[in-house]
């Protein structure tokens, strides 16, 4: 069976990218990374991709006069690699409605909270500040509203009394590295059906 071709979009360290790279090395894993795109030249994730001999592209948003033009360039590259699923992995740019609508159902994101709680860039700080006792991560399809869209899977962690942002983030990140490859596997195996605002995961 042919493998699902994915593109991973990053802006930083790329530990979730690494988790996907490692999963894709397993012979029976049903997806392969066709392309890694970073909007930042200094993203460490680019090195991870190069070490794994995965094609990389740097598309710097500062080189474009609008979000739409930046997204159009990404779309051009992604399409030229025959990509079937886009995985946002610490990609710190909002995407235009046009791009999101075009890729709806074929673009996923991982977020370090149990959505819909704690959307935004400071999810772990916000979870600690709020005093929740359980947090975690969410993999979801991307919709036009930030950190929204049908949820594919979630994993939980306890929030401990003396946690600060970094301690919680490290615990959540361990679960992210399990959740993201698992979500991609479920999609590649065609077990994820979008049903309105929800997904149904088939056995």
| Interface contacts to ligand GRF, rule CB under 6 A | 12-17, 89-90, 110-112, 173, 176
Nearest distance from residue 10's CB to ligand GRF, in Å? 6
Nearest distance from residue 1's CB to ligand GRF, in Å? 28
Going by the DSSP 8-state scheme, the letter that residue 191 receives in this structure is -
Per the CB < 8 A criterion, the answer to whether 159 and 128 are in contact is: yes
Residue closer to ligand GRF by CB (options 112, 149) is 112
DSSP-assigned beta bridge partners for residue 7: 35, 86
Neighbours of 143 (CB within 10 A): 18
Which of the residues are catalytic?
Answer: 111
Side-chain half-sphere CA neighbours of 161 within 13 A: 0
Measured at CB, which residue is nearest to ligand GRF? Answer: 90
> What SS3 state is found at 45?
helix
Nearest distance from residue 8's CB to ligand GRF, in Å? 9
CA 169 to chain centre: 16
Residue closer to ligand GRF by CB (options 173, 186) is 173
Residue closer to ligand GRF by CB (options 43, 78) is 43
């Amino acid at each position: 069976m042919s493998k699902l071709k994915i593109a991973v979009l990053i802006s930083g360290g790329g530990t979730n990218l690494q988790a996907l790279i490692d999963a894709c090395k397993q012979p029976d894993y049903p997806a392969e990374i066709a392309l890694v795109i970073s909007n930042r030249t200094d993203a460490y994730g680019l090195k991870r991709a190069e070490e794994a001999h995965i094609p990389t592209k740097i598309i710097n948003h500062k080189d474009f006069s609008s979000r739409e033009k930046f997204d159009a360039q990404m779309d051009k590259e992604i399409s030229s690699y025959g990509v079937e699923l886009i995985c946002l992995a610490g990609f710190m740019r909002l995407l235009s409605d046009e791009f999101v609508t075009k890729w709806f159902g074929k673009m996923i994101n991982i977020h370090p909270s149990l959505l819909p709680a704690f959307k935004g860039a400071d999810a772990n700080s916000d979870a600690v500040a709020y005093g929740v006792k359980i947090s975690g991560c969410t993999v979801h399809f991307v919709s036009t509203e930030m950190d929204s869209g049908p949820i594919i899977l979630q994993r939980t962690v306890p929030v401990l009394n003396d946690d600060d942002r970094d301690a919680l983030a490290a615990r959540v990140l361990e679960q992210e590295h399990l959740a993201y490859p698992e979500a991609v596997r479920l999609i590649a195996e065609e077990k994820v059906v979008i049903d309105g605002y929800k997904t149904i995961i088939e056995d």
